[in-house]
Amino acid sequence: ANFSEQVVESFPSDISTGIYYGWACVGNGDVHKMVLSIGWNPFYKNIKKSVETHVIHTFKEDFYGEILSIVITGYIRPEKNFDSLEALISAIQEDIEEAKRQLDLPEHLKLKEDNFFHLPEGKIANDH
């Protein structure tokens, strides 16, 4: 799930590019583990910074237009370029496994239940 340019521009300017992990919720659905890429995606030679969320869950249908709420809980590695698509895919799989391991730790697991993800119907946090 890619965030819009407007959301990307609202991220703190001093946040380091790289791969992060945390929790994500689509709409008012369940909270799932996620991996987040913040950066320029050098393999694809992007000219604009992007923020891409990989929710570690298989959804039955797409969720375009839904609100995606995330909580970043940790950092995995800096952004880097890859020699091949296969190397990129391999790194993504390693990032996912690392995120799963980290998010099972008690200090991260407790954030899955944070009130941030359980907003009253129709309310949006921080005007986003």
Give catalytic status of residue 61 as yes or no: no
For the chain, state the CA radius of gyration: 15
Say which of 5, 52, 61, 113 is annotated catalytic. Answer: 52
Catalytic sites, residue numbers: 52
